[in-house]
């Protein structure tokens, strides 16, 4: 699945790749976590700019419009591609509010013996990409409580990373895919919800510090070389 990712791409490169203007001052994020505000590309749904692409900061964890409070969002950080067209929590967003979340890697944890080892999944060419996402507007009760939130669509893991984890986010690799995903044709968008070509991605182990959301620095994306096990002390004496 996808519960942590990175987006360190320079704003200028993001504007170019996603064809969207932004006045936002985007700092690199090596450790984006649920409930945090992340840059998301959507189409304006109303007003004179209707249909235009915009980059907005949204909270990760979709809060449906009918929710009494925003707590439910924590449980909605991912949406299964297989059921996104049916589930009450996602159906409306899937039909009308598909979005693209800029990223340049995501993290998956694998339990290895006693430790949970994090891996970072990236494109083999190290280029940024987009996650297929859905967004919602939650207006709450009072004035000024409006909140935009998003979720990341997941599918089966592609073969090259399946040894780490059996699910992965739906990845969009180029401008055509971004346009189709956000476009009006729901069924065309649905065709994109597949595991990616295994040749396009790879995974490598990273520092376990990424587990703590308070850590957010460039060291988190550096490959680590697994520590060799300390040699066992000699049992008995040879002499």
* Strand 78-80 to 147-156 pairing: parallel
Q: Write down the least CB distance from residue 63 to DNA, Å.
A: 11
How many CA atoms lie within 13 Å of 82's alpha carbon, on the beta-carbon side?
5
Query: Should residue 36 be labelled a site residue for DNA when binding is judged by CB under 7 A?
Result: yes
Q: How far is the CB of 198 from DNA (least distance, A)?
A: 18
Beta carbons of 152 and 78 less than 8 angstroms apart? yes
Sites for DNA among residues 181-210 (CB under 7 A):
208
**Residue (22 or 36) nearer to DNA, CB:** 36
The C-alpha angle 114, 120, 126, rounded to 5 degrees, equals: 160
C-beta closer to DNA: residue 94 or 181: 94
Out of 12, 82, 108, 148, pick the active-site residue.
108
Please confirm, yes or no, whether 2 is among the known catalytic residues.
yes
Rank residues 66 and 146 by Cβ distance to DNA and give the closer one: 66
Binding to DNA by CB under 7 A, coded x per residue (else -) over 61-100, reads: ---xxxx---x--xxxxxxx--xx--xxxx----------
Considering the rule CB under 7 A, would residue 166 count as an interface residue with DNA? Answer: yes
Show contacts with DNA in window 14-33 (CB under 7 A): 33
**Shortest Cβ 228–DNA spacing (Å):** 22
- Residue whose CB is less far from DNA, 21 or 156: 156
Region 97-116 residues binding DNA, contact defined as CB under 7 A = 109, 111, 116
Q: Which positions are annotated as active-site residues?
A: 2, 108
Residues at the site binding DNA, with contacts judged by CB under 7 A: 1, 3-4, 33-36, 64-67, 71, 74-80, 83-84, 87-90, 109, 111, 116, 118, 154, 165-167, 208, 211-214
């Amino acid at each position: 699945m996808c519960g942590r990712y990175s987006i360190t791409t320079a704003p200028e490169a993001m504007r170019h790749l996603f064809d969207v203007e932004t006045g936002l001052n985007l700092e690199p994020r090596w450790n984006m976590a649920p409930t945090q505000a992340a840059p998301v590309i959507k189409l304006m749904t109303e007003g004179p700019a209707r249909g235009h692409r915009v980059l907005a900061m949204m909270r990760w964890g979709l809060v449906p419009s009918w929710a009494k409070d925003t707590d439910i969002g924590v449980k909605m950080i991912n949406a299964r591609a297989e059921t996104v067209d049916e589930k009450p929590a996602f159906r409306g967003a899937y039909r009308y509010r598909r979005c693209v979340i800029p990223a340049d890697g995501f993290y998956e944890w694998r339990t290895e013996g006693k430790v949970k080892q994090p891996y970072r999944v990236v494109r083999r060419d190290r280029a940024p990409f987009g996650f297929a996402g859905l967004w919602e507007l939650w207006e709450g009760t009072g004035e000024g409580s409006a909140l935009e939130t998003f979720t990341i669509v997941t599918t089966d893991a592609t073969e090259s990373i399946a040894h780490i984890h059996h699910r992965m986010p739906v990845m969009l690799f180029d401008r055509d895919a971004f346009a189709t995903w956000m476009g009006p044709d729901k069924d065309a968008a649905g065709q994109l919800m597949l595991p990616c070509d295994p040749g396009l991605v790879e995974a490598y182990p990273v520092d376990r510090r990424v587990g703590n959301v308070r850590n957010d620095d460039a060291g988190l994306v550096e490959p680590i070389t697994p520590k060799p096990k300390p040699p066992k002390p000699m049992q008995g004496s040879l002499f």
